[in-house]
Amino acid sequence: MENLTPVVKAAASVLIHTPGLVCHGSKPAREIASDPFRREQLRAALRSFDAAQSYLPNLAFVGSRAPEGLYDIERPWFDHKAEPAEGCNAFGSIIDESRFLALVALADPFKNISLLDRFWEDTAPRLEGSVVCRPFIASTPGLVDANGLKTKITDGHGVPLFLGAQPEPVGWVANGHVEDDSLSATVLLENLCAKVSGALALQEIFVKNGGSNKKDIDLLVGCSEEAVGDRYQRGGGNLAKAIAEFGGCEMASGFDIKDFCAAPIPAMVTAAALVQAGVFQNVLVVGGSSLPKLGMKFLYHLQKRMPVLEDMLAAVAVWIGRDDGQSPVVNLAGVGRHPVSAGASLDQQLKTLVVEPLNRLDLEAGLIDKFVTELHNPEITVPANGGDVAERNYRMLGAVLAKAGKIRRDEVAGFMRERGLPGYAPTQGHIASALAYVPHACQRLTRGPFQRCLLFARASLFLGQMTQLSDGMSVLLERHP
Amino acid sequence: MKLQGKKITILGERDGVPSHTIEQAIEGLGAEVVYSTTQCFV
Amino acid sequence: MDLEVQGRIKELAETYGRDDLVVLLGAPNVDAARVQFETVTRGDPTFAGPLAGVELGLAAYHVFEPEVKALIDADRYSELIETLELGLESESIVEALQQARAVGSS
């Protein structure tokens, strides 16, 4: 009989440095609209690509450093120049903005994006030179000359594309429909950024796992936070299939799973369940980036005279397939869910997502090497009065586990260092929510010393104003027996 | 401080006490919740 | 504090009167609790929102504060809030708000 046990065959992550896109983040766009001087202030506080490449949390994200190293490095981390790690990261690349903008234009089948012809001429050879970007050059993007671009800007009906802090635009995104807000230029740009970043993470999987064949992929499950659709089906979805097409997975279909920041966990659980049920053999879970979250806390960063650190788009891809005798197992018997009756508070969430599955599996907390949850970089959130999200999660989890008798009271204080992780991910919602750590988890559950990682994520459903509740889900990854 | 007869605005927070939890806690105290929201910073 | 929320609170204060409106806070840390308290009492300290320069002087309490705790049935408090109180910096939050209140009344 076939062994249908689902395993994580590979995982990859990608970061894209997009300082020029920060002005299209939700908060910066609103602030610039009400006070155009904000654009100048923002520009003056953007980071260089070198700075982004040598930023310690970014290096932890792409796997050239262990995240735990951050515990012993005093903040500010942005002042601490590490060796840039281009080309030798364990999990994926840090991509620069010019290549990314060119890919965004290439990924736009409706040619709403026009790139300045000179910019494309300069950038196309750089795409050719990148093993990750090269496969996407199957066509030519929409192009415009300098005069044509000026005319578009004068006419309006779209938004300009900037490269870093350069004041002159290098492209234009036109509205996709004159009277449909769901297809406005900013919505299309957001969706295309999620599409391209997701496809880059997918591509990293195949770059890092030579010999694997894209044609073996049956299904993509999307877990990004965008809402693709027109006015009659806002959020209609299936960005996954668009990513499959752009990423060259010809035999794959796709669908998206929506659950705010928690979506990657139900996506991984669904993918693993489809494999275990024998429905599909190889499923890719892909989380693309979140453009609206760029610069969300930029006013605080400006006020504190810091660089605007929310300038990174991030994406992760996870390949779930049938048992190969070596990859970490997705233990579907250990899935934790957050029922309606558990309300919205963090302690209740942790009880249902962590304590209950541990009890069900009769596992001691000490048998879990890492509890993995929201790993937002504290250097971004603390200056905005948001505190250290990872630390708060672990402090509460320590308290909940102690109350449940899973750890001793005297273990609470050291719980984060012992069983948790410092925040290192860009504030890209779902990406920071455990998904960012999956490549690390795979590495440590195969070549490293780990036996088990419990991943859990939380969803702020109340933001959509349909309920005051939250949601969440957890899943256990185990070393292959 | 009394809540009896008062109009209540709740500013809950995802990682703190969410508004849903505060609403449950003050139920039956004779106060009317006129606005209830939960903030999320990430 | 979120500009939309500031606008709503300003409207509510106008509709129901400042004396009848009570704000209950659930912030997880001192910084956020203090900013929210300031905003609904002495006005938006960042001068960005509708409450910039507007001293509503509303009664505002964090649910961890003894004034609120005393009103809630002990069993219910224990079930709903106690673990959160233990896991968050509740003592510092309570202290910070009491200090902020004392400054306002001196």
| Structure-token match 């089948």, residue found | A109
pLDDT (tens digit per residue) in A221-268: 999 999 999 999 999 999 999 999 999 999 999 999 999 999 999 999
The C-alpha angle with vertex B10 and arms to B7 and B13, in degrees rounded to 5, equals: 175
Residue in A closest to B24 by C-alpha: A343
Could you give the angle at which helices A185-208 and A97-106 cross, rounded to 10 degrees? 110
> Among C35, C48, C83, whose Cβ lies nearest the Cβ of A399?
C83
Tell me which chain B residues have a C-beta less than 8 angstroms from the C-beta of A429. 42
pLDDT (tens digit per residue) in A354-397: 999 999 999 999 999 999 999 999 999 999 999 999 999 999 99
CB B13 within 8 A of CB C26: yes
pLDDT (tens digit per residue) in A121-139: 999 999 999 999 999 998 9
Q: For residues A90 and A65, give the distance between their C-alpha atoms in angstroms, rounded to a whole number.
A: 9
pLDDT tier for residue A85 given thresholds of 50, 70 and 90: low
**Confidence at residue B42, expressed as pLDDT on a 0 to 100 scale:** 85
Residues in chain C: 106
A24 in helix, strand or coil? helix
Ramachandran angles phi, psi of A231, nearest 5°: -65, -20
Strand spans (E) along B1-42: 7-13, 32-39
Question: In this complex, is the C-beta atom of B18 within 8 Å of any C-beta atom belonging to chain A?
Answer: yes
C63 CA to chain B: closest CA distance, Å?
8
Q: C70: which 2 tokens?
A: 């005393």
Q: For residues C106 and C104, give the distance between their C-alpha atoms in angstroms, rounded to a whole number.
A: 6
Residues whose CB falls within 8 Å of the CB of residue A358, separated by 6 or more in sequence, listed in order:
A364, A365, A368, A406, A454
Tell me which chain C residues have a C-beta less than 8 angstroms from the C-beta of B22. 24, 26, 63
Contact A347 C87 (CB under 8 A): yes
B4 CA to chain C: closest CA distance, Å?
10
Q: A205: which 2 tokens?
A: 């999987």
Query: What's the start-to-end Cα distance of chain A, in Å?
Result: 19
C77 CA to chain B: closest CA distance, Å?
7
Q: For residues B26 and A460, give the distance between their C-alpha atoms in angstroms, rounded to a whole number.
A: 22
Contact A381 B21 (CB under 8 A): no
In terms of pLDDT, which residue wins out, A84 or C89?
C89
CB A194 within 8 A of CB A286: no
Contact C28 A385 (CB under 8 A): no
Q: Does ipTM come in above 0.85?
A: yes
CB A243 within 8 A of CB A222: yes
CB A381 within 8 A of CB B41: yes
Q: A376: which 2 tokens?
A: 């937002």
As to burial, measured by CB atoms within 10 angstroms (0-12 exposed, 13-18 middle, 19+ buried), residue A410 is: exposed
Question: In this complex, is the C-beta atom of A395 within 8 Å of any C-beta atom belonging to chain C?
Answer: yes
Tell me which chain C residues have a C-beta less than 8 angstroms from the C-beta of A398. 87
CB burial of C27-37 (b: ≥16 within 10 Å; e: otherwise) equals bbbbbbbbebb
Tell me the pTM: 0.95
Residue A210 has pLDDT above 90, yes or no: no
Mean pLDDT of A193-205: 98
Contact C29 B9 (CB under 8 A): no
Residue C106 has pLDDT above 60, yes or no: no
